[in-house]
């Protein structure tokens, strides 16, 4: 008996080692790629010396991603920075290690679940099905755009802690209720994993839904069981049912905010209709993957404008899948579990919330639930045994595709070339290429691509302003583009792209690097955007536009108005770096008394926030004292060299 256990353990360890090695091999070429898209505001822009503890704490507590700041993910970026600085290779390498860890966690969780769902699979059968599922999940080509996209560590790390939380729940369910170990796992380990998941990415909020699914499908627990087992009943009430109730209440109270589509080019109904089609698009990417279909850029996916027959049919199939989870919970519990896993993973990002329509990383965890189904069918039903013969071929094809995608991600020039070729209607693919190092020496091609972008995104002023920014270096004024930008700012909410373009153009004009455009031109654009009512109702747009108005007024010489606009921006955003910028402009104007007042306001805000802004306070205080010393020595204070390139 012991020899059998040792032999099985050796088989498992060997299989895991081979699987991990193959996964590392296929992803390795992608490690040499660049940062891209959201890597810039989340990793590059907030980078600080990771050896400066105060700076690290400030960065962790001031991330603007998501509702909760994702501080655990930001901390992980700091740990990578400690070893690799700002080398993209290190961030992708750590992502790969995290992906391998998640594969092992999925293997462990699915093994435990399968052993309970299908007793005939217990032991070797459960090990085999869980192992093959985890292996295919690790090596699937769809995962490349998550693992090789540095900032998606947020999704990966949240998945890690979700899996650890579910494993902790499985562990406590195997322990004697009310024992010391039960309380350690239930009241210490499990809550800690939940908090870490939430602070990695908001997907951690799905843990109660996962637990509800496991209680209904895996443990098949009823209310009577909870009444008999008081410690478990209390824990389930606090971990599952109370969070679900609070979630419903928060959604009901914040429904206007959570379904605010003022910043989108599609409506709530159009998003829901589109997601019905997108769910089946994801199914195709999982079961019939093609390299041409997979990309970081899916903003060219068509919006479903109305409810047609195909939409009704696909929606009916999704409802049937939901119904079958309950109908099959006893007759085919593994199928019910796999379907529920996939659908739960998509509850937050593929339903009614005003997110962008399509991203491949939304399938990072979801993929495992669907991959489980054919693997289980082959292992469990004799009629499917013939299909097992093609498994090696499936693995080889997946290895080839994943290796090919990783190599594409590892070559920036090839990556952007393939993205534009495969997705010629993707505005984000064009924008990413235009901002890439590969495009910096090819100004003519950049202009051509940006003009294509203006046709693809006719409601986006950022592209027109971007053209003017580039033309500044050639001494050209794009009158038509400036007029078009103003017209669009009159009709549509300003986007992050538009805000960044406005700020960059303002900086160039203020520094006399774009004499063809005047500060009056910038004022006309800003005032047009600000007068559009939806921008005033959106806190992010309002605060950013007020800040840009303040910068403009300072450069125009209207000091008092600049201060007012900055204060209004801060009242809405409560960002302490807004006050820090204001203080620098006050110092540059020689208004040290006003700068002292702003410094006092910063210190008061820091005190009210338990000192989380202490790093910024110390930096600003040093800058203020240095300026005061320079002024006393008849050395003029400098205006900030350049405006911070952000539009959070």
Residues 217-261 pLDDT 10s: 999 877 778 888 889 889 999 999 999 999 999 888 888 877 888
Is the pLDDT score of 3 beyond 80? no
User: In this predicted model, which residue has the larger pLDDT, 392 or 147?
Assistant: 147
Distance CA 330, CA 453 (A): 53
Distance CA 489, CA 495 (A): 10
Is residue 328 classed as helix, strand or coil in its secondary structure? Answer: coil
List Cβ neighbours of 402 (8 Å cut-off, separation of 6 or more): 26, 27, 139, 140, 141, 143, 144
Q: Are 203 and 355 in contact (CB under 8 A)?
A: no
Q: Are 438 and 412 in contact (CB under 8 A)?
A: yes
pLDDT of residue 272: 92
How big, in percent rounded to 5, are the helix, strand and coil portions of the chain? 75, 0, 25
Distance CA 395, CA 601 (A): 61
Opening angle at CA 366, ends 113 and 339, nearest 5: 60
Distance CA 523, CA 556 (A): 10
pLDDT of residue 383: 66
Q: What percent of the chain has pLDDT over 70?
A: 96
List Cβ neighbours of 98 (8 Å cut-off, separation of 6 or more): 153, 156, 157, 160
First to last CA, the chain: 61
Q: Are 135 and 392 in contact (CB under 8 A)?
A: no
The radius of gyration computed from the CA coordinates of the chain, to the nearest angstrom, equals 27
pLDDT of residue 399: 93
Domains of the chain plus CATH, in order, are: 2-408 (no CATH), 422-632 (1.25.40.10)
Predicted confidence band at 643 (pLDDT cuts at 50, 70, 90)?
very low
Give the residue carrying structure tokens 């529920």: 340
Find the helix or strand (DSSP H, E) in which 241 lies: none
Q: What percent of the chain has pLDDT over 90?
A: 56
List Cβ neighbours of 18 (8 Å cut-off, separation of 6 or more): none
Beta-carbon neighbour count of residue 121 at 10 Å? 21
CA atoms within 13 A on the CB side of 494: 38
Distance CA 489, CA 505 (A): 15
Q: Are 367 and 142 in contact (CB under 8 A)?
A: yes
Q: For residue range 463-493, list pLDDT tens digits in order.
A: 999 989 888 878 888 888 899 999 999 998 8
Q: Are 505 and 468 in contact (CB under 8 A)?
A: yes
What is the arithmetic mean of pLDDT over 91-118? 95
Is the pLDDT score of 142 beyond 50? yes
Q: Which two tokens stand for residue 522?
A: 């910038």
Q: What is the pTM of this model?
A: 0.90
Q: For residue range 85-102, list pLDDT tens digits in order.
A: 999 999 999 999 999 999
Q: Are 450 and 467 in contact (CB under 8 A)?
A: yes
Is residue 112 classed as helix, strand or coil in its secondary structure? Answer: helix
């Amino acid at each position: 008996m012991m020899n059998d256990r040792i032999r099985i353990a050796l088989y498992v360890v060997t299989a895991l080692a081979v699987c991990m090695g193959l996964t590392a091999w296929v992803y390795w070429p992608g490690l040499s790629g660049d940062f891209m898209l959201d890597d810039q505001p989340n990793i590059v822009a907030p980078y600080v010396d990771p050896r400066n503890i105060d700076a690290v704490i400030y960065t962790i507590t001031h991330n603007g991603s998501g509702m909760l700041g994702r501080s655990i993910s930001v901390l992980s970026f700091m740990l990578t920075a400690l070893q690799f600085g700002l080398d993209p290779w290190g961030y992708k390498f750590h992502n790969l290690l995290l992906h391998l860890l998640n594969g092992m966690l999925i293997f462990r969780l699915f093994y435990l679940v399968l052993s309970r769902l299908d007793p005939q699979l217990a032991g070797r059968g459960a090990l085999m099905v869980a192992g093959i599922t985890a292996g295919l999940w690790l090596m699937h080509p769809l995962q490349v755009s998550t693992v090789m996209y540095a900032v998606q560590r947020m999704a990966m790390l949240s998945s890690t802690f979700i899996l650890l939380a579910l494993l902790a729940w499985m562990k406590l369910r195997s322990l004697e209720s009310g024992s010391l170990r039960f309380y350690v796992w239930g009241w210490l380990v499990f809550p800690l994993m939940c908090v870490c998941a939430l602070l990695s990415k908001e997907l951690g909020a799905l843990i109660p839904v996962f637990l509800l699914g496991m209680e209904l499908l895996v443990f098949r627990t009823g209310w009577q069981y909870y009444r008999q087992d008081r410690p478990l009943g209390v824990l389930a009430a606090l971990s599952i049912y109370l969070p679900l109730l609070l979630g419903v209440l928060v959604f009901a109270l914040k429904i206007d905010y959570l379904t605010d589509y003022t910043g989108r080019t599609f409506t709530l109904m159009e998003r829901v209709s589109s997601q019905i089609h997108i769910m089946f698009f994801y199914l195709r990417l999982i079961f019939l993957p093609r390299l041409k279909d997979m990309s970081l850029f899916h903003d060219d996916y068509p919006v479903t404008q109305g409810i047609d027959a195909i939409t009704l049919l696909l929606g009916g199939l999704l409802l049937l899948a939901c119904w079958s989870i309950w109908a099959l919970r006893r007759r085919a519990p593994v199928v019910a579990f796999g379907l529920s896993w996939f659908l739960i993973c998509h509850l937050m990002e593929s339903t009614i919330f005003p997110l962008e329509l399509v991203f491949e990383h939304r399938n990072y965890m979801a993929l495992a639930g669907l991959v489980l189904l054919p693997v289980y069918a082959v292992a469990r039903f004799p009629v499917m045994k013939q299909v097992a013969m093609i498994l090696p071929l499936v693995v080889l094809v997946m290895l080839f595709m994943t290796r090919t995608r990783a190599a594409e991600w590892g070559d920036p020039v090839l990556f952007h070339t393939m993205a534009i070729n495969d997705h010629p209607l993707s505005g984000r693919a064009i924008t990413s290429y235009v901002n890439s190092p590969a495009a910096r020496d090819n100004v003519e091609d950049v202009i051509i691509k940006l003009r294509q972008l203006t046709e693809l995104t006719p409601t986006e002023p950022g592209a027109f302003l971007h053209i003017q920014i580039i033309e500044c270096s050639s001494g050209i004024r794009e009158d038509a583009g400036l007029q078009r930008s103003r017209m669009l700012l009159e009709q549509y909410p300003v986007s992050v792209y538009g805000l960044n373009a406005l700020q960059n153009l303002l900086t160039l004009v203020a520094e006399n690097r774009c004499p063809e455009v005047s500060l009056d031109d910038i004022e006309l654009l800003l005032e047009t955007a600000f007068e559009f009512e939806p921008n005033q109702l959106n806190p992010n747009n309002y605060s950013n536009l007020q800040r840009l108005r303040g910068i403009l007024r300072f450069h125009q010489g209207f000091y008092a108005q600049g201060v007012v606009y900055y204060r209004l921006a801060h009242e809405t955003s409560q960002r302490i770096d807004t006050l820090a910028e204001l203080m620098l402009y006050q110092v540059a104007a020689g208004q040290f008394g006003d700068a002292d007042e702003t410094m006092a306001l910063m210190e008061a805000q820091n005190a009210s926030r338990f000192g989380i802004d202490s790093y910024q306070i110390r930096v600003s205080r040093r800058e203020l004292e240095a300026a005061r010393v320079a002024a006393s020595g008849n050395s003029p204070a400098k205006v900030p060299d350049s405006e911070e390139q952000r539009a959070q």
